[in-house]
């Protein structure tokens, strides 16, 4: 075979395979066996190996690329992603329709229902008809680039089909959204092959998409359904005028849609569909958690519009919380970072809403007594909203008389140390500051996202570092060497290099984050900010490059390559802390007597001063928020909710404080403004009820100009 013949044959084989994929995944036709498909693909692979100059990126053989070397890039969505409102009953669904009909008086609404696939939302961007990017939902504005994994999904076309005779080169930039999922069959095969890696197919799909190695993604057999499309209306493609037309266009482009969608002329028909779907759900090859109900006509959708939180024209009609029964095999006690002892029910594994549940927190001794939970009891387990497992009740009628009452241990179950339960508190605590469990939990808190946010330091790595006696406390992380890590499990050259680089980058950290990372009892994120604001530290000015502004700079709202910043040394912090008194701390607005005493006790402990000395020797620098730029917001209290278009929540808080305002975490009658972005949550409704002014980011920024 000469080159001309090879090129022609390769093109024919590629077109045949693309046609087979379209008919199999989109049209659900299976006229040609997979064995025949595999033989054609094998021939294509062999020809491309002989004639590599004819390999193209859209070839079905090029789905699996090379392993990524580091983190996933952040990509901005073409338009922000909103979430859906939820409803769990016919009454809530009727209320939703009533609200909408008031906004479009005299109109009759029709609906489309689609299965709510329990998977991972993704957006795919096609340029000139070819797959360019696959992006996770992320925060709704930015998502992670997972193109390398998504290319391996057979039901995702690498190239769109031609519609209406238009050339792919004339296609506009197209963004389509859909749900990536793992079938129940593939999930069972994965857990059988690799052990009980994931609790449910949704977690498996999310974990697989975020694999650095696309071969792993390909082996785990993901699938995808599409349900929305966005592109410039002034293009060669016909723009759909309804959700029904959208699904048809997606199919015409070669994108797979779930064909169980139904067009309804009334809400009564929607309710009937929900009832029928609930009966079918257990027989489906994938998990669903309800129906998505959408107003079909785009004219109506545009009239209804959106709240800051979600579109008014769509709602997730979810199945009632699924319940199951299980038996309490044992009750174990976990030890947290402050020494708190938490009882946990060990359950006979049971499937609840698609997940295997084998553990449930019992919170504390009083909660166990209130519910009268005993070892051996049969209990009702529920996942509220199909998410959080909880023990609803004990089925006392099923008791045999052999059940055992649980008693909190007299000694720490991990270290054997003394425990105490202070009068008036519901939590017992281990008093041994050298307890292994306390030590591990403290380290995990230290490296967590809201503290030092050190990539690569998960639970298993922290556990190994402690077990191998490589660190005694968090400050020792900054003296780790490559030679310390190389002999640990899971560590290879690149992972060691990445971890040490992440540790080095974290040496410059915002003061509130540093205080939060110390793990002072009763000091959460907000209290850490209040304490940081109250301190007057001697500082010096440094220039920070953009690469240094990952997690530390909650202080800056800009996107410039460099920023001027004020930093303080650890000794300056120690000096300022040692000047504090209980009364002085109690005088900080938002810090109560109990918290003030806890902070004071921590500061006065000589061991903690020695601990801070170690951070100084490690070269930790503290970024100090600049003092007020102006008094434009003086006396005003703001609460922030949702995802803002350009500012992070930390950046918005800092701007409020820099301009004399106060940033609070909860809405009350004392709140002056609610600064709302997309997906604002319950704070939005509370603000509306209390009559609090609700503003968006642009209005907020105009108040500063």
In angstroms, the CA 35 to CA 38 distance is 5
In angstroms, the CA 307 to CA 632 distance is 28
Residue 603 token pair: 């500061």
Residue 600 token pair: 């004071």
Contact 198, 204 (CB under 8 A): yes
* Strand pairing category for 355-361 and 419-420: unpaired
Exposure b/e, 491-518, CB count within 10 A at least 16 = b: beeeebebbbebbebbebbbbbbbbbbb
In angstroms, the CA 440 to CA 489 distance is 18
CB within 8 Å of 539: residues ≥ 6 apart: 566, 567, 568, 572, 624
Q: What is the dihedral of CA 614, 620, 623, 624, to 10 degrees?
A: 20
CB within 8 Å of 21: residues ≥ 6 apart: 60, 154, 155, 157, 254
Of 116, 309, 505, 653, which is the active-site residue?
116
| Per-residue DSSP letter, 527 | H
Contact 390, 335 (CB under 8 A): no
Residue 161 token pair: 């089909």
| Of the candidates 281, 229, 226, the residue with the CA atom closest to the CA atom of residue 259 | 226
Whether residue 549 lies in the annotated active site: no
Furthest-apart CA atoms within the chain: distance in Å: 90
In angstroms, the CA 14 to CA 647 distance is 46
In angstroms, the CA 528 to CA 515 distance is 6
Q: Which residue has the tokens 């002989």?
A: 50
In angstroms, the CA 382 to CA 681 distance is 23
In angstroms, the CA 293 to CA 370 distance is 40
In angstroms, the CA 477 to CA 499 distance is 10
Contact 517, 445 (CB under 8 A): yes
| Of the candidates 349, 328, 330, 347, the residue with the CA atom closest to the CA atom of residue 398 | 328
Catalytic residue set: 116
């Amino acid at each position: 075979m000469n080159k001309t013949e090879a090129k022609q044959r390769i093109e024919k084989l590629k077109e045949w395979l693309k046609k087979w994929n379209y008919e199999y995944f989109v049209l659900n036709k299976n006229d040609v066996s997979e064995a025949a498909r595999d033989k054609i693909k094998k021939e294509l692979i062999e020809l491309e190996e002989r004639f590599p100059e004819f390999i193209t990126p859209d070839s079905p053989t090029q789905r699996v690329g090379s392993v990524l070397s580091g983190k996933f890039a952040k990509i901005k969505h073409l338009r922000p992603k909103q979430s859906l409102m939820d409803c769990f009953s016919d009454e809530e669904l009727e209320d939703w329709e009533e609200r909408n009909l008031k906004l479009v008086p005299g109109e009759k609404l029709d609906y489309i229902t689609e299965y709510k696939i329990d998977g991972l939302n993704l957006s795919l961007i096609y340029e000139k008809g070819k797959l360019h990017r696959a992006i996770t939902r992320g925060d709704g504005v930015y998502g992670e680039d997972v193109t390398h994994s998504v290319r391996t999904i057979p039901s995702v076309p690498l190239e769109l089909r031609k519609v209406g005779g238009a050339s792919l080169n004339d296609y506009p930039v197209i963004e389509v959204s859909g749900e990536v999922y793992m079938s129940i069959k593939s999930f069972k095969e994965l857990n059988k092959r690799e052990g009980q890696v994931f609790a449910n197919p949704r977690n498996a799909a999310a974990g697989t998409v975020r694999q650095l190695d696309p071969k792993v993604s390909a082996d785990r057999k993901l699938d995808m359904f599409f349900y929305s499309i966005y592109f410039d209306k002034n293009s060669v493609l016909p723009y759909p005028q309804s959700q029904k037309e959208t699904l048809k266009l997606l199919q015409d482009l070669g994108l797979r849609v779930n064909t169980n969608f139904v067009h309804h002329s009334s809400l009564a028909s929607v309710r009937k569909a929900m009832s029928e779907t609930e009966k079918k759900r257990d027989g489906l090859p994938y998990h669903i958690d309800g129906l998505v109900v959408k107003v079909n006509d785009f004219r109506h959708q545009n009239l209804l519009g959106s709240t800051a939180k979600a579109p008014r024209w769509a709602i997730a009609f979810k199945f009632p919380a699924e319940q199951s029964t299980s038996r309490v095999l044992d009750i174990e006690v976990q030890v947290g970072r402050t020494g708190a002892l938490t009882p946990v029910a060990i359950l006979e594994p049971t499937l609840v809403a698609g997940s295997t549940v084998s553990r449930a927190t019992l919170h504390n001794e009083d909660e166990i007594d209130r519910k009268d939970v005993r070892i051996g009891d049969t209990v009702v387990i529920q996942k509220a909203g199909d998410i959080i497992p909880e023990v609803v009740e004990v089925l006392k009628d099923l008791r045999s008389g052999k059940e055992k009452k649980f008693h909190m241990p007299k000694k720490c179950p991990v270290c054997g140390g003394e425990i105490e339960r202070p009068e008036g508190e519901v939590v017992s605590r281990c008093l041994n500051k050298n307890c292994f469990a306390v030590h591990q939990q403290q380290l995990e808190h230290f490296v967590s996202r809201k503290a030092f946010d050190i990539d690569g330091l998960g639970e298993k790595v922290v556990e190994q570092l402690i077990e191998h006696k490589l660190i005694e406390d968090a400050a020792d992380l900054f003296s780790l060497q490559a030679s310390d890590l190389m002999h640990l499990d899971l560590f290879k050259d690149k992972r060691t290099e990445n971890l040490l680089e992440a540790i080095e980058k974290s040496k410059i950290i915002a003061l509130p984050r540093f205080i939060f990372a110390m793990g002072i009892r009763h000091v959460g994120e907000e209290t850490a900010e209040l304490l940081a604001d109250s301190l007057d530290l001697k500082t010096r000015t440094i220039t920070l490059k953009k690469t240094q502004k990952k997690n530390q700079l909650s202080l800056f709202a800009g996107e410039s390559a460099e920023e001027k910043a004020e930093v303080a040394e650890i000794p300056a912090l120690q000096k300022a802390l040692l000047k504090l008194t209980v009364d002085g701390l109690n005088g900080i607005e938002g810090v109560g007597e109990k918290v003030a005493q806890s902070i004071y006790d921590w500061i006065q402990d000589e061991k903690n001063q020695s601990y801070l000395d170690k951070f100084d020797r490690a070269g930790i620098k503290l970024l100090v928020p600049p003092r007020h730029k102006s008094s434009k917001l003086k006396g005003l209290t703001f609460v922030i909710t949702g995802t803002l278009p350009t500012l992070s929540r930390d950046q918005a808080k800092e701007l409020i404080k820099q301009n004399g305002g106060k940033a609070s975490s909860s809405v009350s009658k004392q709140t002056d403004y609610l600064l709302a972005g997309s997906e604002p949550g319950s704070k939005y409704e509370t603000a509306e009820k209390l009559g609090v002014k609700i503003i968006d980011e642009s209005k907020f920024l105009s108040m500063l100009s």
